[in-house]
Amino acid sequence: MGAKSKDGCDTPACSSKDDMMRMMRAVVRERTTTSKSELGENLASSSSSATETARDKKENDAARVQKATVGREEEEERILNATIATCPLSREDLGTGTWGLLHTIAAHFPEKPSTVEKVQARRFFDALGDLYPCTVCKEDFRRDIDEHPPDVSSREALSAWVCERHNEVNAKLGKPTLGCALKTLDKRWKNGGARCGGSTPSE
């Protein structure tokens, strides 16, 4: 996790989730793997050569190895899941959380923002383009907002702007694009509808 990525960033925020998972899994496996000698000793102590035929012993040993392997894998997953919850965010998790924040901010932006609110919103997006912890993501977002400045004229305009920026990133990553109609965005990011315990957006 300490190795620098191709963009020169060595923080977890620049690492892909797959890379982080692979490295964590290797560490967990090293901590939980039973050595062959230990496994052999366990098998020897748990089997009774006096009462088992050679064939029975072979089958029983195989069953014990399988059980030990399954138990070890389950322990690895338990430790891995507990570890993930205490690790810094990966690039994907950071991106997912950030887009959720941006969509939600836009969904609750004033219908008719004041001059101060417009300035604050623009400053927020400018700061995000400067301070985002993933270097390559930050540079990409900075270029995007320079080419397409945030439309802070209204709640609907800002919601559409965030959605369009999100879709540009999704297109680059080969992910499905989102519907940017206000009703669609509100159902996802503001009202939620009955399924989320909220109200149904008016037609």
| Of 162, 150, 157, nearest in space to 126 by CA | 150
Q: What is the pLDDT of residue 1?
A: 37
Burial class (CB in 10 A: 0-12, 13-18, 19+), 12: buried
Which position has the token pair 């000793």? 41
Which position has the token pair 């909220």? 198
Buried b (16+ CB within 10 A) or exposed e, 54-68: eeeeeeebeeeeeee
Q: Give the domains, in start order, of the chain with CATH numbers.
A: 17-84 (no CATH), 91-192 (1.20.120.310)
Q: Locate all alpha helices (DSSP H) within the chain, ordered by sequence.
A: 17-32, 36-46, 54-84, 91-107, 115-131, 135-147, 155-173, 182-189
Q: What is the pLDDT of residue 67?
A: 60
| Distant-in-sequence, close-in-space partners of 19: CB < 8 Å, separation ≥ 6 | 1, 90
Q: Is the pTM of this model over 0.85?
A: no
Q: Over 60: is that where the pLDDT of 203 sits?
A: no
Rounded to 10 degrees, the C-alpha dihedral 112/118/120/122 comes to: 130
First vs last C-alpha separation in the chain: 49
Confidence category of residue 2, pLDDT binned at 50, 70, 90: very low
What average pLDDT does the structure give for the chain? Answer: 79
d(CA 122, CA 116): 10
CA distance readout (Å), 120 to 8, 123, 126, 139, 195: 31, 5, 10, 21, 33
Q: What is the pLDDT of residue 12?
A: 65
Q: Over 60: is that where the pLDDT of 162 sits?
A: yes
CA distance readout (Å), 165 to 3, 90, 127, 149: 30, 21, 16, 10
d(CA 126, CA 122): 6
